[in-house]
Structure 1
Amino acid sequence: MKNTFLFSVIIATGLTGLGLVAMAQTTGSAPVDSLRGGDVDEYVPVDGVYHQDEKRFKRNYRQQPPLIPHSIDQYQIDLAANQCLGCHDWSKAGERGAPTLSMTHYMDREGNQLDQVAGTRWFCNQCHVPQADAPALVDNLFQPSN
């Protein structure tokens, strides 16, 4: 008997919740606008792809990580490998003509100097992103520092 009563209460609560959700979706609320400009199943054409610029962008603030002036689409950066180090590691940068990593990339959390890139700096694209002359996704009032 207790099980039947408990089952009835659970069913009634579920049906009430479904009714409230249905009512909330149909009454009084304005439709939500999609960021992509259309319904989920609607085709929305997009602008052309923005390609990398040939020149390097200026940094907008002190200590900003440099932007990457080339594509990294096919680069492997995971726990097993970091393809960026093939050119930018201190031991190879000179012969490849690539900028060398800052010495801060070779320091552990306690400030000890290491012979290899620190684990905290292994995933380059957590700070560095490819540069592209693309429009802002949202309006903002950001002004670069002097």
Structure 2
Amino acid sequence: MRQLATTLGLVVALVGGMALAQSVREPVSELTGPSPNPMEPVAAAPLERMVTDDVRLMRAYPEQPPIIPHSIEGYELSVNANRCLSCHKRETSLGTGAPMISITHYMTRDAQMLADVSPRRYFCTQCHVPQADTAALIGNSFTDMAEMGATGAGSE
């Protein structure tokens, strides 16, 4: 019985090893590109059209950074300049009509208030991204709690 189990184990290992070796020999197009020669230049696909309708979308989950509903092409975002702040900073948001950046952007990591935007919150595109008009890369079956019939406390 022990000899039969050993033989069966060796056969399974051999078949599995052959399948693995065969899959390794074939190039994976997602990693190497469409050409058999990975060093051959390939034309890039055109960039997707960015959403620029200035409509603020509902967030998908709590604490999600809002997406940028307008074009930021040509915006300077460097150590020396941040064009986002020219509209979204506390002092300018009322005049521009842009939503003010969160109060948390004026805090240190120890929750101490600062007079200006915290250096760790200065580079906006680390968290906030513009939205492209493109199909989703993967399917999404997310259902918001409100759509599931959940009611808030005290709503009876």
TM-score where L is the length of structure 2: 0.66
Between the aligned partners of 2:32 and 2:133, the Cα distance in structure 1 is 20
C-alpha contact (below 8 Å) 1:105/1:117 kept by paired residues? yes
Paired letter, 2:70? H
Number of residues of Structure 1 aligned to a counterpart in Structure 2: 119
CA gap 1:30/1:73 in 2 versus in 1, 3 angstroms: same
Aligned to 1:33: 29
Higher relative contact order (CA 8 A, sep 6+): 1
Q: Deviations over 1:42-99 (max 9, x none)?
A: 6457366223152322210011001101111211111111110000000001001110
1:36 Cα deviation (Å)? 8.6
Aligned to 1:97: 97
Name the % identity. Answer: 39
Structure 2: gaps (5+ residues): 1-20, 146-156
1:65-104 equivalent positions in 2, closer than 5 A:
65-104=65-104
Between the aligned partners of 1:82 and 1:144, the Cα distance in structure 2 is 36
TM-score where L is the length of structure 1: 0.70
Structure 1: gaps (5+ residues): 1-26
CA gap 1:37/1:119 in 2 versus in 1, 3 angstroms: same
| Worse-superposed segment, 113-122 or 28-37 | 28-37
Aligned to 1:130: 130
